[in-house]
Amino acid sequence: MYNKETYDVIVVGAGHAGSEAAGAAARLGAKTLLITMNLEAIAKMSCNPAMGGVAKGQLVREIDALGGLSGIVSDESSVQFRMLNRSKGPAMWSPRCQSDRMLYAQKMREKLESIPLLTFRQDNVVDLITEDFEVKGIVTQTGQKFFAKSVVLTSGTFLNGLIHIGESNYGGGRSGERASVGISAALENLGFEIGRLKTGTPPRVDGRSVDYSKLEIQYGDDDASPFSFMTEGELPKAKDQLTCWIGYTNEQVHDVLRTGFDRSPMFNGRIKSIGPRYCPSIEDKINRFADKDRHQLFLEPEGWNTYEMYLNGFSTSLPEETQIEALRTIPGFENVVMIRPGYAIEYDYFPPHQVKRSLETKNVEGLFFAGQINGTTGYEEAACQGLMAGINAALKVQNKDPFVLKRSEAYIGVLIDDLINKGTEEPYRMFTSRAEHRILLRQDNADLRLTELGYKIGLATKERYEQYLQKKEEIDRLHTLVSKYTVRPEQMDPMLKKLGTSKLTQPVKAHTVLMRPEVNLQEMLLADDIFKSKVEAITSKKYVVEQVEIQVKYSGYIQKEYEMVDELSKKENSPIPEKIDYAKLKSLSTEGMVKLSKIRPETIGQASRISGVSASDVAVLMVYLKN
């Protein structure tokens, strides 16, 4: 069958990657088709209904700063906000929100449906249309053909997905939805290398059947920070948010779980693929950490208007009867009702050395991969890839240069660079430790780093850009004031004595006092009415004051980071010809030659970060290029 409708961009899959990809491409002026197996499952939170967390929160704020959708949708659908790692330095602070699962999907669909150039279709894509290794469109299971200049694949866990519960297994992309069959074979025929990964999810329980008196209550933040820089007004106080709960397993629970190990697909060989090391199943935890007599669990609400609860930390693929028996051994869960069992799912992915930094594939021009197809895990990792793939799919149609973020510019840049240069044999998850410039890549300054870039490519709105300019101006003015304003001992000493830090011996500039770890700017303002009035004349915004305080306190570290970035950028910006034959560089190590030929880095900086490429290999390459 033939469909005469031609698009600029087709996005396959409407999870978190697909939603961001379609939204970005269409808002950049590309006529876009978002095609998915179930339109009622757009942006569905298959696992935990939450966004953000350690390093993941930074990703969401970066998506928002560029003009993406995940941040504002998270704010509009959240039931609880928390800033993690507040006891550590600001480079480690990470926002997280518990979301209303159904409301999140509803809000995302509303946002997507408001974009004029975006069209939807419910169908299953089974093949690609290509010509001379250039993508031309897609084919659906009904034989319909849709043509486009760029195609973005965001298939999640659906490619040949296989669900495991105990000794049972069946095809599926997630609970209650069928797998996608056909695309993997089409990509293999085009020369793509394929692999298998695994992930899992915990059982859902009826919150009415839980004895909360035996659990620890976990409140949200009173002074909650939104994800989106465009969210106006204060967020709900802790009392107006839903609460989460903390429980623990014990040795009795572990003993029950062990009775199902002989029927566990993880231990009897039916699951051969690798799962996420940093989010292991409960059976994997008690097997790997046999010395621990308990493991922490988080009972989290699925939304405002449901009793369904998510038991974070109890991911499992054990037989259903083992799951329920083990659950009822946990204090507080003695009479629990299980709404649906936990399960593991295996799915196809394509090792990410096969994509460029733009996320366009190296094998097929105009074809982009984003999300779990590249070997990542997590909504946030998927969403940021979707955003970048959607941007670059639209830019390719418009014959513009790709939009690429460096490691020094964003966690998004770190994630994509890691995937391409280091690859992954297990589901990749973002951590702050992966970012060598994390003191520059804080969640609080994502807009200062990225909004201007988003505006230049046409994704961030004028309203967002003007807000960013105003914020930047207020920060600069306040920073100047703090640097030049003189504070006096008679005003500061009572406050300094109370904080347990040494008194002043003479008048000094405000920034020298603010640099003390014990002191914050708000306390200084309470001690000096004139200083306070001058600050209030510049800004009334808490986040502006916080930003200046961070810049002052960590100025030495920040300056060193910028110097390191400048040094590394010299190598980063040295291009490598695409057609170079590494086999002809006889002085390269064998491993270096193989890795460079496989990954085909675009710059010297990228080559230097490839695992297995030594410093001497990089030196050989630089001499060759110079000559």
pLDDT in tens, 188-240: 999 999 999 998 899 999 999 999 999 999 999 998 889 999 998 888 999 99
CA-closest candidate to residue 444, choices 58, 115, 181: 58
pLDDT at position 4: 63
pLDDT higher at 220 or 610: 220
Check whether domain 465-559 has CATH 3.40.50.300, yes or no: no
pLDDT at position 269: 67
b/e string for 549-588 if b means 16 or more Cβ within 10 A? bbbbbbeeebeebeeebeebeebbebebeeebebeebeeb
Three-class secondary structure of residue 410 per DSSP: coil
pLDDT tens digits, 28-39: 999 999 999 999
CA–CA dist 351, 360 (Å, integer): 13
User: Cβ contacts of residue 144 below 8 Å, gap of 6+?
Assistant: 1, 3, 123
Contact 410, 59 (CB under 8 A): no
pLDDT at position 278: 67
**pLDDT, mean of residues 131-159:** 95
Contact 105, 42 (CB under 8 A): yes
Q: How is residue 504 annotated by DSSP? A: P
CATH 2.40.30.260 positions along the chain are 204-342
> Following DSSP, what letter does each residue of 444-496 receive, concatenated?
GGHHHHHHHHHHHHT-S-HHHHHHHHHHHHHHHHHHHHHHH-EE-HHHHHHHH
pLDDT tens digits, 302-356: 999 999 999 999 999 999 999 999 999 999 999 999 999 999 899 999 999 999 9
Max mean pLDDT range (9-23, 229-243, 560-574)? 9-23
With cut-offs at 50, 70 and 90, classify the pLDDT of residue 607.
confident
pLDDT at position 568: 73
Contact 393, 26 (CB under 8 A): no
CA–CA dist 533, 161 (Å, integer): 61
Residue 1 has pLDDT above 60, yes or no: no
Contact 314, 282 (CB under 8 A): yes
CA-closest candidate to residue 385, choices 616, 201, 153: 153
- For residue 143, give both structure tokens: 């034989």
**pLDDT, mean of residues 8-12:** 98
* Degrees, nearest 5: CA angle 506-507-509: 130
- For residue 307, give both structure tokens: 């009793």
Residue 423 has pLDDT above 70, yes or no: yes
User: Cβ contacts of residue 230 below 8 Å, gap of 6+?
Assistant: 64, 72, 463, 464, 467
Contact 228, 71 (CB under 8 A): yes
Amino acid sitting at position 253: V
Contact 21, 386 (CB under 8 A): yes
For residue 260, the tally of other CB atoms under 10 A from its CB is 22
CA–CA dist 8, 602 (Å, integer): 26
pLDDT at position 612: 78
Contact 354, 347 (CB under 8 A): no
> Following DSSP, what letter does each residue of 77-96 receive, concatenated?
HEEEEEEETTTS-TTT-EEE
CA-closest candidate to residue 15, choices 44, 35, 38, 37: 44
User: Cβ contacts of residue 603 below 8 Å, gap of 6+?
Assistant: 571, 572, 573, 574, 575, 576
Amino acid sitting at position 266: M
b/e string for 346-384 if b means 16 or more Cβ within 10 A? bbbbbbbbbbbbbbbbbbbebbbbbbbbbbbbbbbbbbb
Three-class secondary structure of residue 360 per DSSP: strand
**pLDDT, mean of residues 132-143:** 95
With cut-offs at 50, 70 and 90, classify the pLDDT of residue 81.
very high
Residue 2 has pLDDT above 60, yes or no: no
CA–CA dist 396, 405 (Å, integer): 16
CA–CA dist 244, 310 (Å, integer): 10
CATH 1.10.150.570 positions along the chain are 574-626
- For residue 367, give both structure tokens: 């074809």
pLDDT tens digits, 488-538: 999 999 999 999 999 999 999 999 999 999 999 999 999 999 999 999 999
CA–CA dist 496, 493 (Å, integer): 5
**pLDDT, mean of residues 406-411:** 94
Residue 3 has pLDDT above 80, yes or no: no
CA–CA dist 460, 539 (Å, integer): 24
Q: How is residue 174 annotated by DSSP? A: B
pLDDT tens digits, 469-480: 999 999 999 999
Residue with tokens 């086999």: 583
User: Cβ contacts of residue 198 below 8 Å, gap of 6+?
Assistant: 271, 273, 274, 275, 344, 345, 346, 347, 427
Computed over every residue of the chain, the mean pLDDT equals 92
CA-closest candidate to residue 527, choices 501, 552, 547, 555: 501
- For residue 262, give both structure tokens: 């002989």
- pTM comes to 0.92
CA–CA dist 625, 257 (Å, integer): 59
CATH 1.10.10.1800 positions along the chain are 465-559
- For residue 132, give both structure tokens: 């001379």
Burial group, residue 532, by CB count within 10 angstroms (0-12, 13-18, 19+):
middle
Q: How is residue 241 annotated by DSSP? A: S
CA–CA dist 107, 19 (Å, integer): 11
Residue 82 has pLDDT above 80, yes or no: yes
Three-class secondary structure of residue 168 per DSSP: strand
Contact 565, 437 (CB under 8 A): yes
- For residue 261, give both structure tokens: 């190990």
* Degrees, nearest 5: CA angle 197-387-471: 130
Considering the four listed CATH numbers 1.10.287.3510, 1.10.150.570, 2.60.40.10, 2.60.40.790, the one that applies to the domain covering 574-626 is: 1.10.150.570
CATH class of 204-342: mainly beta
